[in-house]
Amino acid sequence: MERLRAVHNNDSKKKEINAEWCENMLYGYQEARTSTLTLASNRDHISSPSRWIAPPINHLRLDVDAAYNVNSNRFAIGGVVRNHEGQPLLAFGKKITKPPSIVAAELIAIEEGFQIAQTQHLRINQITSDSLMAVQAVTSPTEDYGYTGAFATKTRNLLASHALLKLEHVLRTANGVAHSLASFATSSPSPFVWICGEFPSWLVKLVIKDLTPS
């Protein structure tokens, strides 16, 4: 329906937005298909938790995500660092230049999130993303990811330079806080890095919800 409106109204802006939707749907389909095939061939993924799970004692976990706002035609990334008690230590979000693919945006979120945590002197032990294609592009580069492969290689080299750092895939339901931060960043007037004591009330509520048994 939106495509037809764009065609008949000759609205160039609408056409650009519809093109973004097509790209997002394509990569969403590819990722869903990859996830389904992986689940069918590797039963271990079925045990992947559907809720946020704290890292081991004295470890820090960085959850990251990328988001796209169809109304503003903006991409953004976001993430949160939490300790073994679930306490958030850092949260961030920023817009990014239009990436070549959704997977590339997720890879940018991984790399930038890790670097932001480092600037705050936080030693990350675990990074999680709900993009299976992004995680596999880094940890199991068996497919030709084209231009996105350059992002994957850069991320792989970054992680390889830090011993004991793990990148893992989680379900979207276990990555809600990072997703909310990325979505918020698409409409935020400026990038943000919040540390403990600076978090807005809506973020605190999301974290508490993560830690509350269903």
Selected residue with higher pLDDT from 63 and 146: 63
- Residue 47 falls inside a structural domain: no
Contact status, residue 93 vs residue 192, Cβ threshold 8 Å = yes
- Residue 50 falls inside a structural domain: no
- Shared domain check, 36 and 66: no
Over pLDDT 70: what percentage of the chain? 75
Q: Specify the pLDDT at position 104.
A: 92
Query: Is the pLDDT score of 154 beyond 70?
Result: yes
Number of folded domains in the chain? 2
Which residues have CB under 8 Å from 131's CB, separation 6+? 31, 65, 66, 102, 103, 106, 169
- Residue 56 falls inside a structural domain: no
| DSSP code per residue over 44-71 | GGGG--SS--PPSTT--EEEEEEEEETT
Average pLDDT across the chain, whole number: 84
Interatomic CA distance for residues 132 and 168, integer angstroms: 9
- Shared domain check, 103 and 190: yes
- Shared domain check, 174 and 147: yes
Q: Specify the pLDDT at position 38.
A: 46
- Shared domain check, 120 and 34: no
- Shared domain check, 171 and 112: yes
- Residue 76 falls inside a structural domain: yes
**Segment 13-63, tens digit of pLDDT:** 555 556 656 666 665 565 555 555 444 444 434 446 788 999 999 999 999
Q: Specify the pLDDT at position 58.
A: 93
- Shared domain check, 96 and 9: no
- Shared domain check, 195 and 140: yes
CA-CA-CA-CA dihedral for 153, 155, 161, 166, to nearest 10: -120
Interatomic CA distance for residues 185 and 69, integer angstroms: 10
Interatomic CA distance for residues 23 and 17, integer angstroms: 10
**Segment 129-139, tens digit of pLDDT:** 999 989 999 98
- Shared domain check, 31 and 119: no
User: Please, how many CA atoms are within 13 Å of residue 115, restricted to the half-sphere of its CB?
Assistant: 11
Interatomic CA distance for residues 189 and 202, integer angstroms: 18
Selected residue with higher pLDDT from 171 and 145: 171
Q: Specify the pLDDT at position 125.
A: 95
- Residue 48 falls inside a structural domain: no
Q: Specify the pLDDT at position 90.
A: 97
Provide φ and ψ at 127, rounded to 5°: -120, 135
Query: Per the structure block, which two tokens stand in for 50?
Result: 């559907």
Over pLDDT 90: what percentage of the chain? 56
Which residues have CB under 8 Å from 23's CB, separation 6+? 101, 102
Selected residue with higher pLDDT from 5 and 106: 106
- Shared domain check, 162 and 71: yes
- Residue 55 falls inside a structural domain: no
Total-model pTM: 0.78
How far is the first Cα of the chain from the last one, in angstroms, to the nearest whole number? 38
- Residue 53 falls inside a structural domain: no
Segments forming the whole domain that contains residue 89: 61-211
Q: Specify the pLDDT at position 47.
A: 47
- Shared domain check, 106 and 142: yes
Residue 145 belongs to a domain with what CATH number?
A: 3.30.420.10
- Choose the weakest-confidence range: 52-61, 105-114, 124-133, 135-144: 135-144
- Residue 51 falls inside a structural domain: no
